[in-house]
Amino acid sequence: MIKAAVLGSPIAHSLSPLLHARAYELLNIQGEYTALETSEVTLADRLDMGLRDEWSGFNLTMPLKETIFAYEKCTIDEDAKRIKSVNTVVRSGDEYFATSTDMRAFKRLLAEFSVERVALIGGGGTARAAVGALSGRTKFFDVLLRTPSRVDLLQAISPESHFKVLSMDSSIEGYDVVINTSPAGATDHLAQSLASADGLYFESLYKPWPTELSFAWKELGGGTLNGVDLLVEQALDAIELMTAHSFDFTSMRSALLEVALASISS
């Protein structure tokens, strides 16, 4: 039986239990997936409990995606090390295997889009996953940051790309893709000055949705992806890793998107 959970604080709002429960149902396997309130201080104890009680694995939200690097009973894959962000840990004997299914999700979701010139808003773990996914494809990243020093870590992830730091008031027009990983409300002011939306706008939020900026972008005819798309896409890999079941991602994606969107709109 699969026994797993998403860890974070606050975590009660998470859609992950709904998605994983639906996947277990479709895969016809027994499983239990919950949301467990877990802080940076209690993460190690929670992971120790998971090993002791033979849990299958956990998903992590910020800031636990970085805190996990201090936990010793964990083998972290090279991609996650490179972006310094982990969102999935799977029990393997008396330790965990850790990876970033966020990075895998960004790779698939952006595979069919032109990404030569990208505007990135924010510099945290989700932003680093996006840069890791686009490394080798994107020549120019313009990064809107409140803390300019964060660009150094982004540059280290994709050294072949050119990074330019911009203020949070800068225009986001004229890019192939705009990826917004900032908190709710942080970019609402950009909607007021938006005059064109030729590329793709990808926002990592799904609550609240739509945001002012995503609504304005869509009104101007631009394409959008949102946090539900990202949540579902990263969940596909996490479900496969935790259950050790292979399945068709296309049909599972459709089913999980349906569940997630129904929950948000209800």
Separation of alpha carbons 179 and 250, rounded Å: 23
Which residue type sits at 108?
R
| Distance separating alpha carbons of residues 53 and 102, to the nearest angstrom | 27
- In this prediction, residues 127-133 reach a mean pLDDT of 97
Residue 126: pLDDT over 90: yes
For residue 54, the one-letter residue type is E
Give 41-65 as a DSSP string: TTHHHHHHHHHHTT--EEEE-TTHH
Asked if 102 and 85 count as a contact pair (C-beta separation under 8 A), the reply is: yes
Q: CA end-to-end span of the chain, whole Å?
A: 31
Q: How far is the C-alpha of 14 from the C-alpha of 75, rounded, in Å?
A: 26
Residue bearing tokens 């890793």: 241
Q: Which CATH superfamily is domain 2-99+229-265 in?
A: Leucine Dehydrogenase, chain A, domain 1 (3.40.50.10860)
What dihedral do alpha carbons 21, 22, 24, 27 form, nearest 10°? 180
CB distance 256 to 19 below 8 Å:
yes
94-99: average pLDDT:
98
Distance, CA of 194 to CA of 189 (rounded, Å)? 9
Q: Where in the chain is the domain with CATH 3.40.50.10860?
A: 2-99+229-265
Poorest-pLDDT segment among 34-43, 84-93, 165-174, 200-209: 200-209
Q: Which residues pair with 92 in a beta bridge?
A: 95
Q: Where in the chain is the domain with CATH 3.40.50.720?
A: 104-225
Kindly report, residue by residue over 165-181, the tens digit of the pLDDT.
999 999 999 999 999 99
CATH number given to 104-225: 3.40.50.720
- For residue 79, give the amino acid letter: D
